Structure 1
Amino acid sequence: MPVRVWVEAAMLAKSAVAYNAGTLNRARDAGMQYMEAFDGADCGWTSHQDTDKPNGMLRTVEDAAAWPISHPRCRRAFGPRPDVREPV
């Protein structure tokens, strides 16, 4: 595999982690407890093989911070859910 492919994957992963960290830090500062995960339908929480599919699911801010992405080129993002105070 060409070096540029590895560099691109690393840059995309770092930028995705940074984007999600900013979102999660701001949500935490605002007192949010839960986030909605936006992810690929086949993407698992920790890897593609993980059967825990987070797309559209609620996660705590802490859980989201632990797994801001699950693989290189991951498109995961989080949206704050101020309307949720207790898990569903």
Structure 2
Amino acid sequence: MQKKAVALRYHQEEDRAPRVVASGKGIVAENIIETGEAAGVYIQEDRDMVELLAQIELNQEIPMELYGAVSEILSFVYKVNGKYEK
């Protein structure tokens, strides 16, 4: 099975909702993950969520139906980031 990855961006001041900024499989997915890791971005593994998010066109906001699931991930990420920030 090929690796898949989707990257989201959310700037509270600019975006109404998170948007898909990168999506791919195989080597593209590996590059997305490596770029995120190099930038210190938290990587969440969730195959079902990736399948849903991969259907969204690049630079499009996620649909309202995914707000709940994505907000849980973002909430966890913010907690993790706050825990390790100095």
TM-score, normalised to structure 2, is 0.27
Report which of the two structures shows the higher radius of gyration computed on alpha carbons: 1
Structure that is richer in helix per residue: 2
TM-score, normalised to structure 1, is 0.27
